Amino acid sequence: MFFAINMERKVKSIFISDVHLGTKVSKPNYLLKFLKDFDSENIFLIGDIIDFWRLNQRPYWPQEHNTVIQKLLKKSRLGKKIIYIPGNHDEFLRQYDNLNLGGIEIKLFYEYQIKDKRFILIHGDQFDLYVLKFKKIAKIGGIFYDLSQNFNYYLNKIRYFFGLPYWSLSGYLKRKIKNASNFIENFESILIDFAVNKNYDGVICGHIHQGNIKVINNVIYANCSDWCDSIGGLIETYDGELIFIQNEKDRWVEKIKLKI
């Protein structure tokens, strides 16, 4: 199902993660369109919104990145509820749990209810053993990810010239490399087990840049995707539907829908 890019749709909540403002791979203009096209009561920022890892290494902050922050602050002033749950790239903010910054509340995690289902909102890096044990290597891996994204940018310029659709190098590698697939499956299973142990009906997270909604053992797993490569997020409608939305050729496409 398609929605024109300039169509405004009122929804109850939107869930965003892995924007990585402060890096060249971030695509803030798509996020600004998303915030415009889906007007919501609640905005949940589920980690890695600002990439302090990269900013500490190489300052990069163009106007579009600043505009995202200004847009969120404006929405807060208009009465929108905004919760910021830091991830590993913006873990600097975790020391400010429960602090209110211009109407944006910082939380280590957040409990949220959709219909009669209780969800925990958390970035997810806390369950990534690789990041926890090999943090310095993970940061180096982030640099290689940036390089692959830069290559992908110029590759898709050429593809666009020849009338070919967008193609994601990192997405291709994640689908084809067995260890990557196993990592994603393990990550999902660990988050599901965590939700079960804490008596939640579901978990909404980010971190792995793989948007998804699925039900495993009667527990709902939802991942917010990212705004670097996949370009997507989650929305909750007033009818209690949880939908993974992705941008394709300047249109928002409903990829996965779950009636709660």
Q: Is the pLDDT of residue 157 over 70?
A: no
Please report whether residue 1 resides in a domain. Answer: no
Q: Is the pLDDT of residue 178 over 80?
A: no
Q: Is the pLDDT of residue 177 over 50?
A: no
Please report whether residue 255 resides in a domain. Answer: yes
Distance CA 20, CA 27 (A): 9
Q: How many domains does the chain have?
A: 1
User: Is the pTM value of this prediction over 0.75?
Assistant: yes
Q: What is the pLDDT of residue 89?
A: 93
Please report whether residue 42 resides in a domain. Answer: yes
CATH number at residue 212: 3.60.21.10
Q: What is the pLDDT of residue 150?
A: 63
Q: HSE-up of 27 (CA within 13 Å, CB side)?
A: 19
Contact 42, 71 (CB under 8 A): no
Residue whose C-alpha is closest to residue 91's, from 61, 50, 40, 141: 50
Cross-strand bridge partners of residue 81: 42
Q: Is the pLDDT of residue 12 over 90?
A: yes
Q: Could you read off the pLDDT of 72-123 as tens digits, one per residue?
A: 999 999 999 999 999 999 999 999 999 999 999 999 999 999 999 999 999 9
Band (pLDDT 50/70/90 cuts) for residue 54 is: confident
Q: What is the pLDDT of residue 250?
A: 86
Mean pLDDT of 63-72: 97
Q: What is the pLDDT of residue 58?
A: 84
Please report whether residue 251 resides in a domain. Answer: yes
Residue whose C-alpha is closest to residue 227's, from 244, 242, 213, 247: 247
Band (pLDDT 50/70/90 cuts) for residue 35 is: very high
Q: What is the pLDDT of residue 169?
A: 57
Please report whether residue 21 resides in a domain. Answer: yes
Q: What is the 3-state secondary structure (H, E, C) of 139-192?
A: HHHHHHHHHHHHHHHHHHHHHHHCCCCCCCHHHHHHHHCHHHHHHHHHHHHHHH
- What percent of the chain shows pLDDT beyond 90? 67
Band (pLDDT 50/70/90 cuts) for residue 145 is: low
Distance CA 233, CA 21 (A): 16
Q: How many Cβ atoms from other residues are within 10 Å of residue 163's Cβ?
A: 6
3-state secondary structure of 18: coil
Q: What is the pLDDT of residue 15?
A: 98
Band (pLDDT 50/70/90 cuts) for residue 30 is: very high
Please report whether residue 2 resides in a domain. Answer: no
Band (pLDDT 50/70/90 cuts) for residue 140 is: very low
Q: Is the pLDDT of residue 180 over 70?
A: no
Band (pLDDT 50/70/90 cuts) for residue 152 is: low
Q: Could you read off the pLDDT of 215-253 as tens digits, one per residue?
A: 999 999 999 999 998 899 999 999 999 999 999 888 999
Q: What is the pLDDT of residue 74?
A: 97
Tokens of 100: 């209110």
| Structural domain for 65, as ranges | 7-259
